[in-house]
Amino acid sequence: MKHTKLALGTAALLALAQPAFAQDQVLTIAGSGGVVKEITEKVFLPAFEETTGWKTKFIAAESNILLEVRTMLASGKMLYDAMEVSAANYPIGVKDDLLAPIDYDLLDPDGELPEQAKKEFGVVAAAYSTVLVQRTDKNPEGRKMESWADFWDVETFPGPRSLNPQPQYTLEFALLADGVAREDLYDVLGTEEGLDRAFAKLDEIKPHIPVWWSSGAQSVQLLSDGEVFYSSTYNGRVAKLQESGIPAEIVWNGGALHTSYVGIPKNAPNYEAAHDWIRVRTMRPDLELEYVKQLPYPNFAPGLFDAMPEDVAKTMPTYPANADVQFVANDTFWAENLDEIRERFDEWLLE
Amino acid sequence: MKMRPILWLFLPAALLLAAFIVLPSFDLFRASVFDPEFSTKHFQRLFERGVYLDVMWRTIRVSLAVAVLCTVIGYPVAFFINLQPRRRQTILLFLILIPMWMSILIRTYAWIVVLGRDGLVNEALAALGFTTEPVQMLFTSGAVLAAMVQILLPIQILTCYAAMTEIDLDLIRAARVLGARPRQALARVFLPLSLDGTLTGLVIIFMLSMGFFITPALLGGRQDRMIANLIEFQVQRLNWSFAAALGVVLLVLTVAMIVLLRAGGRMLARRILKGGL
């Protein structure tokens, strides 16, 4: 294992060392490959080069970006100036001290970014949600679900339901249904009594869940077949469902908003220029609009939604009316507590 | 070293077994008690928590039910085929083989279409006026049982049929000539002679059922999980040592049950031979 890490790190160093020495004004950015890389190179990189006069180098870090960063830090030479940080990686990066704090006075002196977009060690680059979806044709006459409390209300809304068999973003929904305020979710979940309370609430709904979905595709399939009338799912899936002619509707209220970030690794050689990059990546509505057209993962670029056609805007998880009623999934909490809670959850499922 | 030439024929199978059965089994045992230090904690967890015992017990119950149902349905079918003229036997066997050529996954999905809320059965029930609300059939134990029996039934029919073709029908005729009534001839001559093959089929189906994964995962509810589903679940969670412990338990349970079934079958055979049914 140690040798693999070393080899990986050395390979990364060798690959990067040359251009970094050869040219001074080059910003090295690490991120995902594939479509994300394609669009980033087409949309964001030229804009950054134009506005700053810097050159860029985009590295698709396919394997394990944190491992690379860790190796570079250990070797004393950080080669990345900025990097994409996934929701799951963010808390680990913070805990293991791999990220540099964002200087918001430098990035956003006029305070244009909303609070939701700003994290200590990263700025929101993309967002998606886990939400409640209802088959509107299965609802009782003239009624619609509006919250997780409605999801739990099997008297008013009879019919089979489905949830994800993983504790994260299922326990939160149970607590919301039990009347916990959005801002208190993780405080409650962090206590033994709060956890018991979430499980007690899940006990109530368990008999009404004939099947637990294990992939986004399955949740949509179950709704489409009419096997379940109500389910949690990823917001991006719902459009596909509607396109196939199924009358389905998202309940944004109580949805879990997940975000991935763009951040700066510790000891990055061009800390200030990295901020210029983050500004281009997260605060330019014109560029973001181009991006969202191809990948429906919006961020909090100010004014993004003014430029978007209203019907498209309304389907985005960060559309203000949608974002305001959701809670932001606390990945730090789950990074610390997932293993323990998951064991209990798994056994609860089997009971 | 000199070896009798005929023994060389055994070598490929021995190598294959060693490479793909013996060594991986050894690895499985090792993984179940090392994590990374020696520890029996995974087995303790397995036997201390009621939920895992429930799943084990359910796996045995379902597998037994499937094996017995397949036998009860399959034996008469095989008997019927065996009585047909030669040409018709070929056609009937062909018809039974066709579904076996389709993947288990596809046959399981087909059951979703049949048993779903908007499925064939529910629509038929509603059209005939038996029900107003769709009956929940998918994600129940009944759905799992029905699909498993349908998937494994051809194996039992073929095994029974193979055993029956070995029986000289003149023996039945002889019993009749010596004064046995048809039912007696069947119970005291034909049945005991076909028993061994039937028992083999039953054990094979039991064995296959113990490791069934797709069908309970797709057609069953939370309460229908079997050991194989539990193993997959733990592998997904990266609890590989716990998954290995579950694998060991599945292996031991299956072998133990096979021994029991065989012994029970032999006792039954002796009883039948002595005094008939």
Cα–Cα distance, A295 to A302 (Å, whole number)? 18
CATH topology of domain A127-257+329-350: D-Maltodextrin-Binding Protein; domain 2 (3.40.190)
Q: Find chain B residues with C-beta within 8 A of A226's C-beta.
A: 116-118
* Sign of the torsion formed by the C-alpha atoms of B48, B49, B52 and B55: positive
% of chain A beyond a pLDDT of 90 = 65
Q: Where does the pLDDT of residue B125 fall: very low under 50, low under 70, confident under 90, or very high at 90 and above?
A: very high
In which residue are the tokens 């961020």 written? A299
**Among candidates A211, A225, A350 on the partner chain, residue whose Cβ is nearest the Cβ of B55:** A350
Contact A350 B225 (CB under 8 A): yes
Contact B49 A209 (CB under 8 A): no
Cα–Cα distance, B246 to B56 (Å, whole number)? 9
Q: Which tokens go with A131?
A: 């939400």
| Amino acid making up residue A98 | L
pLDDT in tens, A52-66: 999 999 998 766 788
Residue A83, classed as helix, strand or coil, is: strand
pLDDT in tens, A57-99: 999 876 678 888 988 999 999 999 999 998 878 988 998 899 9
Q: What mean pLDDT do residues B98-103 have?
A: 91
Write the DSSP assignment of B106-150 as a string of letters.
Answer: HHHHHHHHHHSTTSHHHHHHHHTTS-SS----TTSHHHHHHHHHH
- What single DSSP character describes residue A41? I
Are A2-126+259-324 and A127-257+329-350 the same fold in CATH?
yes
What is residue A15's predicted lDDT score, i.e. its pLDDT?
A: 52
Which domains does chain B possess? Answer: 62-224 (1.10.3720.10)
What is residue B1's predicted lDDT score, i.e. its pLDDT?
A: 55
Contact A350 B51 (CB under 8 A): yes
Cα–Cα distance, A284 to A302 (Å, whole number)? 7
CATH number of the domain located at residue range(s) A2-126+259-324 in this protein: 3.40.190.10
Mark out chain B residues that contact chain A at CB-CB < 8 A: 49, 51-52, 54-55, 112, 116-118, 136, 138-140, 221-222, 225, 230, 233, 237
Q: Where does the pLDDT of residue B210 fall: very low under 50, low under 70, confident under 90, or very high at 90 and above?
A: very high
Residue A87, classed as helix, strand or coil, is: coil
Q: What mean pLDDT do residues A274-286 have?
A: 95
Q: Among A109-113, A159-163, B184-188, B217-221, which is the least confidently predicted range?
A: B184-188
| Residue A235: pLDDT over 80 | yes
Q: Which tokens go with A124?
A: 């929101």
* Sign of the torsion formed by the C-alpha atoms of B2, B7, B9 and B12: negative
What is residue B274's predicted lDDT score, i.e. its pLDDT?
A: 74
- What burial letters (b/e) apply to A157-171, b meaning 16+ CB within 10 Å? bebbbbbbbbbbbbb
Domain ranges of chain A: 2-126+259-324, 127-257+329-350
| Residue A258: pLDDT over 80 | yes
Asked if residue B36 has a cis previous peptide bond (ω within 30° of 0), the answer is yes
Cα–Cα distance, B276 to B195 (Å, whole number)? 13
Contact B54 A350 (CB under 8 A): yes
> pLDDT higher for A283 or B188?
A283
Q: Is the ipTM here above 0.95?
A: no
Q: Where does the pLDDT of residue A23 fall: very low under 50, low under 70, confident under 90, or very high at 90 and above?
A: very low
Q: What mean pLDDT do residues B149-178 have?
A: 93
Q: Where does the pLDDT of residue A22 fall: very low under 50, low under 70, confident under 90, or very high at 90 and above?
A: very low
Write the DSSP assignment of A186-214 as a string of letters.
Answer: HHHHTSHHHHHHHHHHHHHHGGG-S----
